[in-house]
């Protein structure tokens, strides 16, 4: 119910600013994994991660709900643009009066699944089973964003 209330409040702000009506998006809570929410632009639908919502209710309602709605508003007003580009930042900052944060800081231990340890020159990384399997089966390489070094699997069996 709080999600619906926040969507309504945020939608009213966007309608007042753009002087037009927007259709309320369909909402479901079946999103899995580490993402808090995903907006499906053509479907006018938002999927939220029920576990992250339950574990971080206040911050989730305050930030994630308007974040995903902003994607739909931007799509309706500007078409296909960068997901977190200047239009989206404008909606977040100027219309919703919120920071344009692109990543949540929620604890993901209850939603992330099995991880695999990898190292580069500067740090340890934990990759999802999907990324690990891509490396093992498809010879895909991942690079560290900081040092640009190749991520090397740390095999506990060795």
What is the rounded CA–CA span in Å between residue 135 and residue 152?
10
68: containing domain: 2-95
Q: Rg of the chain's alpha carbons, rounded to an integer?
A: 19
Local confidence band at 158 (pLDDT 50, 70, 90 cut-offs): low
The encoded tokens of residue 58 equal 């206040």
For residue range 37-83, list pLDDT tens digits in order: 999 999 999 999 999 999 999 999 999 999 999 999 999 999 999 99
Tens-digit pLDDT profile for residues 109-129: 888 778 899 999 999 998 988
74 falls within a domain: yes
Report how far residue 128's alpha carbon sits from residue 110's, in angstroms, rounded to the nearest whole number. 14
pLDDT of residue 157: 64
Q: Is 125 marked within a binding site?
A: no
If asked whether residues 12 and 78 sit together in one domain, one would say yes
The conformation of residue 101, written as its DSSP 8-state character, comes to -
Same domain, 49 and 90: yes
pLDDT given at position 32: 87
Structural domain contains residue 104: no
When divided into structural domains, the chain yields a total of: 2
Strand partners, 116: 127
The pLDDT value given to residue 114: 80
17 lies in the same domain as 74: yes
68 catalytic, yes or no? yes
- For residues 84 and 120, state if they share a domain: no
If one compares 111 and 158, the residue with the highest pLDDT of the two is 111
The reply to whether 100 falls in a domain is no
Query: Are 63 and 126 in a shared domain?
Result: no
Question: Catalytic one among 68, 87, 156, 158?
Answer: 68
85, 138: one domain: no
Q: What is the mean pLDDT of the chain?
A: 93
Give the pLDDT mean for 93-99. Answer: 97
């Amino acid at each position: 119910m709080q999600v619906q209330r926040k969507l309504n409040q945020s939608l009213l702000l966007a309608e007042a600013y753009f002087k037009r009506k927007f259709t309320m998006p369909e909402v479901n809570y079946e999103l899995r994994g580490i993402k808090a929410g995903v907006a499906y632009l053509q479907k006018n639908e938002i999927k939220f991660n029920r576990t992250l919502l339950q574990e971080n209710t206040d911050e989730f309602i305050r930030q994630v709900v308007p974040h995903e709605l902003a994607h739909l508003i931007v799509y309706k007003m500007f078409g296909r643009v960068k997901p977190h580009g200047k239009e989206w930042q404008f909606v977040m900052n100027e219309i919703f009066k919120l920071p344009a944060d692109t990543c949540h800081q929620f604890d993901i231990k209850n939603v992330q699944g099995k991880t695999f340890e990898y190292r580069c020159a500067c740090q340890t990384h934990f990759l999802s089973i999907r990324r690990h399997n891509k490396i093992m089966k498809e010879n895909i390489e991942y690079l560290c964003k900081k040092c640009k070094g190749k991520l090397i699997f740390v095999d506990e069996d060795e």
